[in-house]
Amino acid sequence: MITVTHYIVLSAILFTLGVVGVLIRRNAIVVFMCIELMLNAVNLSFVAFAHYLHSMNGQLFVFFTMTVAAAEAAVGLAIIVAVFRNKETVNIDDINIMKW
């Protein structure tokens, strides 16, 4: 029998892996992908709670989160492309000045 705890544990593991990825990776695109992984981990817990509480609100929240993630991906990738044009790198250690 799968309970809500199973889903929350899975969600926590995925979220933590996302955090570790953000901290140890230097490639801006991979860091970005780890943020998407964290968003997905939270979405999973939303849907799990919605299912076990007989509620719809969790699913609607996931819908909104996905919209925000789509907007974030579009703008974020545009920023990465713009930075790459100027600095020829996506290593976040090299992108440390606000202006050039």
Partner 1 sequence: MEAYLFYIMAAVAVVSAVYLIFEKNPVYSILYLVMILISIAVLYLLLGAQFIAAVQIIVYAGAIMVLFLFVVMLLNLSAKEELKDALSFQKIPAIVMGIVLLSAIGIILRSKIPLGKQGEYTSAYVHDVGNTQLIGKLLFTKYLLPFEITSILLFIAAIGAIILAKRK
Q: What is the CA radius of gyration of the chain?
A: 17
32 within 8 A of 76, measured Cβ to Cβ: yes
Q: Judged by CB under 8 A, does residue 71 bind partner 1?
A: yes
Question: Can you tell me which of 42, 79, 97, 99 binds partner 1, judged by CB under 8 A?
Answer: 79
d(CA 100, CA 88) in angstroms, rounded, equals: 14
Residue 68: exposure state from Cβ atoms within 10 A (0-12, 13-18, ≥19): exposed
- Nearest approach in angstroms of CB 34 to partner 1 is 6
Q: Judged by CB under 8 A, does residue 87 bind partner 1?
A: no
Q: Which lies closer to partner 1 via its Cβ, residue 44 or residue 97?
A: 44
Q: What phi and psi, each to the nearest 5 degrees, are found at residue 73?
A: -65, -45
Q: Judged by CB under 8 A, does residue 14 bind partner 1?
A: yes
- Which residues of the chain form contacts with partner 1 (CB under 8 A)? 1-2, 4-10, 12-14, 16-21, 23-27, 29-30, 32-34, 36-37, 40, 43-44, 47-48, 50-57, 59-60, 62-64, 66-75, 77-82, 84-85, 90-91, 93
